[in-house]
Chains A and B, each alone.
Chain A
Amino acid sequence: MIKIDNHINDDPAYYQLSIGGEVDASSSIHLEEGLKNAMVASKKIIVDLAELEYISSAGLGVFMSIIQDLENEGIQFVIYGMAPKVNEVFEILGLNQLITIKKDKEEALEAIK
């Protein structure tokens, strides 16, 4: 089961997306939807993955698929708060080299300034 919440902050302007639960092949569609909406809404996106317990390769595929678009559209995108296990998954695949990953919200906000 996946939990998605969003929060739009005006000052400073950023779009916060919170993903929780488990992202597998079937729930990754919701993740994709959430990310696409965020990308339309804002140029500064921070994604809170603190509540994310598990992400399958299909879920990673969603993150991967937006990398090119983020670059093309000049969107600042930071994920933060990942549990060590989830972080490990991102690292093994090498996504940490392409996506900015921060420890907490503070660092994430700093990164998109």
Chain B
Amino acid sequence: MISQKGIIRLSVILGIIFWSLFTIVDLMALFSELNGIAFGFPPFVSNAMLTMFIISLILFYRFNIGQAESVNFVDLLWRVFVSGLIATVVTLCIEFFFTVFASSKVGSNTLVINFLYHVNIGLVIAFLVSTFIVWKRLILYQKSKTLLATWQLYEYALLGTLIFDLFSHDYQDPAFLAVYGILVLIGLYLSFNLKWIAYLNFKQKWRSILFVLLVVIYIWYFFKTLMFFSEKVQLVRDLLDSVFILALITFIIIYCVIALLVILFNLPTTSVFEKKLEEAVNFQRLSQSIPAGESEEKVYEILLDSSVSAVYSEAAWLQISDPSKNVEVTLTHNLDKELIPVITKAVNNSRFKKILNSDFDRNPKSLKISANLKNVNFRSILQFPVTVKGEKIGVLALLKEVNDGFNREMVDIIDTFVNQASISVENFRLLNDAIVNERYKEELKIANRVQNKLLPERLEPCAAYDIHAYSQAADEVGGDYYDVYQLDEERTALIIGDVSGKGTSAAFHMAQMKGVFQSLVQLDLDPKEFLVHANNALSRCLESTSFITVSFFVIDSKKKKVQFARAGHCPSLYYSAEKGTTEYFKNRGLGLGILRNFNFHKYVQVNEFTYQAKDVLVLYTDGITEACNDKKEQFGFDRLQSALTKHADQSPGAIQEGIINDLYEFCGKESLNDDYTLLIVKFN
């Protein structure tokens, strides 16, 4: 396919070629006629050349003149003006030529005159076609389906006349008149599409009037010139014998006249239309939410500016004071800030005060007031509260130097503006809050990652036992803790802990517990000493209402013996493979951090048991036993016990899975709202 630029260039070349051929053929015909020689070509050939020239022109302008947009109506008219101007200047030159050589031979030579006439024809047709295309663009601005169809009909009919014109007709021919008449009627119908005029501002309307008027003058001038030619000498062709040209001229004139009248009638209401448009634009500016990071002040500025221009107020102020968001703004328009309290006082004292709120939202704190004032420079005021989420955060006041300066419509407009500004500010704040929340979430995710590192990544099985752990926090971070430490080749220390409360504070204490465990366990203390030291350390770091429950175990694989102490933690569960029974170790104990003095040691009880192969020790946190089902029944110790008995002959991983599955079956996966941890040790 040829590009748009290619088509434009091609049409220029074709236009020049066809115009030259058309001129040469016509002049040759004239020359043969003058010299009484029979001319070989029928008039059809010259007509065809003219038609081709016109088609080239249509092609050229069609691609050269772009679509009409609300910003370029005057530009389009400007193009028409320029092409008309060029044609006029050349025509004037030709006239000047005739005046200079009026008496000479060159001036009266029929061939010369006819040549110049052809030059003129070319330019006039170019002007007509360009105007036609511009009119088309204007008419089809905001087109409907019917309009488009009508226009296409008109355009095809017009192109059809080009074929009709191939065979020379006289303009008095009835067929000629019939075709012409139909085209004029359709053209008239189309000429009432003048939507573009509504979008011109006052200045543009005046310029449009000027340009349209000039088009009429051009055409009148060209008409006169063509007549002048036909009076002067015998012409080989009369342009006015072409239906196409006549219909085109008529259409252009009709459109000019109607457009002129419509623009003239529209002139007085232009300012109203502009005002409405401005209001709409301002409204849009207010409703666009402010990008995050920018300040609300922008909205307040727009609100004040739009309000002032919407109601033609002489002065105004906007005062915003919202301590909760740290916003303090006072904006004024043509007003000294010091006058604000004076005017406010005048409003309070005004005897002509109207409250505009509807009855049901008559909140004394946020009244919309219209009042006449005394003893200040301004005679009337319109005062609106600015509210965000139902809270009054400020006041917009508009002032006028005349009494009763604000009508119902202005009140409505200001109401809309203020509401829209409120929504914008609200959205802006919501957006900012959302960003902050998002950041918190991100922080929590990091905390979650950090905390996961606090639990042992993997528990190594050793000669004495096989071990498996499972831990789940209700929130991003939790307070459950377990850890293992190899004391020497035969002995391992094992701990499970649960911090009171949940969430972030629990997570911090859990981290402290890890520190305490890792420090103390290296000292290879017996369980009692370990707990006493841990209690001492934690008493100095825990919040007054926080405590940590732990169970601490030292497994000796050589003696097959386990020493353990419980500090307020849920009793551990033990499965004896030999007996096939499961039971809880119910020894005494007290949570760490509960008794923050030297008496703690009195509450520590160390127990001891020997294990056999395939015995299972289950450590857990109260999230497991306290998990509730829909009926608020807890999973409880008994269910946990039977769950272990059921799965005890399996591997630690399978036991854990079995118990958790039983737990989910009992209470449903969704309802768990505490941290829970399960640690399974199976002895070898």
Query: Cβ of B588: which chain A residues have Cβ within 8 Å of it?
Result: 94, 97
Asked whether A58 lies within 8 Å of B591 as measured between CB atoms, the reply is no
Q: Which residues of A contact B607 (CB under 8 A)?
A: none
Which one of B501, B567, B594 contacts A58 once the chains associate, using CB atoms below 8 Å?
A: B501
In the complex with contacts A93-B590, A98-B595, A60-B603 CB distance below 8 A: no
Q: B448 in the interface, Cβ–Cβ < 8 Å? A: no
Interface string of A39-81 (1 = CB under 8 A from B): 0000000000000010011101110110110000000000000
CB of B595 within 8 A of CB of A57, answer no
In the assembled complex, A83 has its CB within 8 A of some CB on chain B: no
A61 and B603 form a contact (CB under 8 A): no
B500: CB under 8 A from chain A? yes
B15 to chain A minimum Cβ distance, whole angstroms, is 86
The residue of chain B having its C-beta at the shortest distance from the C-beta of A92 within the complex is B570
B548 to chain A, nearest CB (A): 10
Are A25 and B634 closer than 8 Å at their CB atoms? no
Distance to closest chain B CB from A109 (angstroms): 26
Residue of A at shortest CB range from B570?
Answer: A92
Chain B residues within 8 Å of A93, by CB: 547, 549, 568, 590-591, 594
**Which residue in A25, A28, A53 is a CB contact (below 8 Å) of B502?**
A25
The reply to whether the CB of A95 lies closer than 8 angstroms to some CB of chain B is yes
CB pair A61–B500 under 8 Å, yes or no, is: yes
Contact A62 B568 (CB under 8 A): no
Give the complex CA separation of A57 and B595 in angstroms.
15
Instruction: Give the residue of A57, A94, A97 whose beta carbon is less than 8 angstroms from that of B500.
Output: A57
Q: Give A79 to B597 CA distance when docked, in angstroms.
A: 23
Looking at chain A's contact residues, is the secondary structure mostly helix, strand, loop, or mixed? helix
Q: Does B471 contact A (CB under 8 A)?
A: no
Q: For chain B residues 595-638, which have a beta carbon within 8 Å of chain A?
A: 595-597, 603, 622, 632, 634
Chain A residue numbers with a CB within 8 Å of B385 are none
Kindly identify, within residues 525 to 584 of chain B, every residue whose CB is under 8 Å from any CB belonging to chain A. 544-547, 549, 567-571
Q: A57-B501, A64-B545 are in contact. Are A98 and B571 (CB under 8 A)?
A: no
User: Which residues in A have their C-beta under 8 angstroms from that of B622?
Assistant: 57
B296 at the interface (CB under 8 A from A): no
Asked whether, in the complex, the Cβ of A61 is within 8 Å of the Cβ of B589, the reply is no
Q: Does A92 lie within 8 Å of B568, measured CB to CB? A: yes
A95 contacts B545, C-beta separation under 8 Å: no
In the complex, chain A residues whose CB is within 8 Å of the CB of B544: 65
Cβ of A7 within 8 Å of any chain B Cβ, yes or no, is no
**B26 lies within 8 A of chain A by Cβ:** no
Which residues of chain B have C-beta atoms less than 8 A from A92's C-beta?
A: 549, 568-571
Complex CA–CA separation, A97 to B232 (angstroms): 133
**Complex interface: chain A residues within 8 A of B634 (CB):** 85
CB distance from B605 to the nearest CB of A (A): 10
Contacts of B593 in A (CB 8 A): 64
Q: Is the CB of A61 within 8 A of B549?
A: no
Bitwise interface map of A from 69 to 113 toward B, beta carbon under 8 Å scored 1, else 0? 000000000000000010000001111011000000000000000
Contact of A94 among B502, B594, B632 (CB under 8 A): B594
Interface residues of B (CB under 8 A from A): 498-503, 544-547, 549, 567-571, 588-591, 593-597, 603, 622, 632, 634
